[in-house]
Amino acid sequence: MQNDETPTAPKKVKQPPVLFTKTQALIDKLSSRLGGPVVAYWNGPRGSVCQSDVVALYHVLERLGQHETIYLFLKSSGGSGQVSLRLVNLLRQHCERLVALVPLECASAATMVALGADGIQMGPTAYLTAVDTSLNHALSPVDRDNDRVSVSLNELQRVIRLWREQQGHGNAEPENAYKSLFQYVHPLVIGAVDRAESLSIMLCHELLAYHVADDAKAAAISTALNGKYPSHSYPILLDEAVKIGLCAERMPADVNGLLLQLNACYSEMGQKATTDFDEVHAHSNEIVNIWESAQVQVYYQEDKDWFYRTEERRWITMNDHSGWRRIERVGQRIKREPLHVA
């Protein structure tokens, strides 16, 4: 008897494209136009400035060598401020002068990286942001998906201020604002956020010290970036960047055009590459971080299974083979290999 049931073919796992040839051609054009080597740093929507970026950049710079001026293309939504200091320190060991190229988003920790550059060139759609610190602590509150949320010192200070203002309108003795706040935010989280704010100001000052001799000017810029703006994501455009004391200027139109083309290639590489098998099983192959210069590209690619644990209301990972990959042109051939970063 013939069986009418045919087995379901396994779903093909999505793979993002790697556009090494296209991006190398654009980097060559940019280097020729600017008169110096270009190092590109790009984060996808789920990428960030992280510790392993330092080792990835080291492998790129070792191939690049020493130069008088290095041009750094930055497109990132931020990450770790302490890593920003390490990245700038590493870049400064390979050049006398560092110029940041900002055609688009350069937020938070990426703004900190730009602070370490002697000059910042900004395109028509470019912006920096404030760098006031928010902290995702082990004792932070959880959201509706049972994930820990970030807490910022500015938010806490505003809650306390509004509480005290409202309490001041009544005749009764005002309650202790912190006593009520501790029901939602652990006191150790509040202490950790306060410490992180001090660290953020110190990091900005250290980064500016690479090229700003005036200590008072560096302190003013650091204080402005950490406390002047009401939102962490407030867009600091070119005129505002100049006003607070940064050495920023308008980017030439042709350079901006080439950088937007390069960003388009990286965006295609970093497209969402999630394969959904069913309601609770999925696989991700997304490229989230990219470093590139002449003849070499290093990128971090997720390669892991996801499982939704219903009782905990959150996704967990399994079979995680994520890691850095390196592509290098050696003579006439292109060499591809994993880059092991502990």
User: Does residue 146 sit in the same domain as residue 24?
Assistant: no
Contact assessment for residue 308 and residue 280, using Cβ atoms and an 8 Å cutoff: yes
Q: Which domain, by its residues, includes 182? A: 136-193
Long-range contacts, 197-206 (Cβ 8 Å, 24+)? 197/132, 197/133, 197/153, 197/226, 199/81, 199/82, 199/133, 200/81, 200/131, 200/132, 200/133, 200/226, 201/226, 203/81, 203/82, 203/84, 203/85, 203/112, 204/112, 204/115, 204/131, 206/85
Q: Of 80, 68, 82, 123, whose CA–CA distance to 100 is shortest?
A: 123
User: Does residue 106 sit in the same domain as residue 249?
Assistant: yes
What is the pLDDT at residue 261? 98
What is the pLDDT at residue 14? 85
User: Does residue 161 sit in the same domain as residue 245?
Assistant: no
CA distance 193 to 214: 29
User: Does residue 244 sit in the same domain as residue 272?
Assistant: yes
Decide if 7 is inside a domain: no
* pLDDT, tens digit, 9 for 90 and up, residues 177-225: 777 777 777 777 766 666 566 778 888 999 999 999 999 999 999 989 9
CA distance 168 to 149: 30
User: Does residue 332 sit in the same domain as residue 271?
Assistant: yes
10-residue mean pLDDT profile of the chain (342 residues): values are: 48 88 97 97 94 96 96 95 94 97 96 97 96 64 71 67 68 66 74 67 92 94 87 91 96 98 97 88 92 97 89 85 93 92 78
User: Does residue 187 sit in the same domain as residue 73?
Assistant: no
CA distance 288 to 283: 15
* DSSP annotation string for 149-210: PPEEHHHHHHHHHHHHHHHTTSSSPPP-HHHHHTTTS-HHHHHHHHHHHHHHHHHHHHHHTT
Decide if 218 is inside a domain: no
Looking up residue 48, the CATH number of its domain turns out to be: 3.90.226
Angle value at C-alpha 131, between 130 and 134, nearest 5 degrees: 120
Q: In a 3-state reduction of DSSP, which class is residue 31?
A: helix
What residues contact residue 179 under an 8 Å CB cut-off, 6+ apart? Answer: none
Could you tell me the two tokens for 244?
Answer: 């607070």
Give residue 260's region: left, alpha or beta (phi > 0; psi -120 to 50): alpha
User: Does residue 110 sit in the same domain as residue 177?
Assistant: no
User: Does residue 116 sit in the same domain as residue 28?
Assistant: yes
User: Does residue 104 sit in the same domain as residue 119?
Assistant: yes
Decide if 28 is inside a domain: yes
Count the residues in the chain: 342
Decide if 11 is inside a domain: no
In one-letter notation, the amino acid at residue 149 is V
Decide if 12 is inside a domain: no
CA distance 241 to 252: 17
* pLDDT, tens digit, 9 for 90 and up, residues 114-143: 999 999 999 999 999 998 665 566 667 777
Average pLDDT of every residue of the chain: 87
Decide if 277 is inside a domain: yes
Decide if 1 is inside a domain: no
Please count the structural domains in the chain: 2
Q: In a 3-state reduction of DSSP, which class is residue 330?
A: strand
Contact assessment for residue 67 and residue 99, using Cβ atoms and an 8 Å cutoff: no
What is the pLDDT at residue 265? 97
Could you tell me the two tokens for 295?
Answer: 């003849």
User: Does residue 27 sit in the same domain as residue 103?
Assistant: yes
User: Does residue 124 sit in the same domain as residue 158?
Assistant: no
User: Does residue 45 sit in the same domain as residue 171?
Assistant: no
**pTM score, two decimals?**
0.83
* DSSP annotation string for 79-124: B-HHHHHHHHHHHHTTEEEEEEEESSBB-THHHHHHHTSSEEEE-T
Classify burial at 207, counting beta carbons within 10 Å of its beta carbon; exposed 0-12, middle 13-18, buried 19 or more.
buried
Decide if 159 is inside a domain: yes
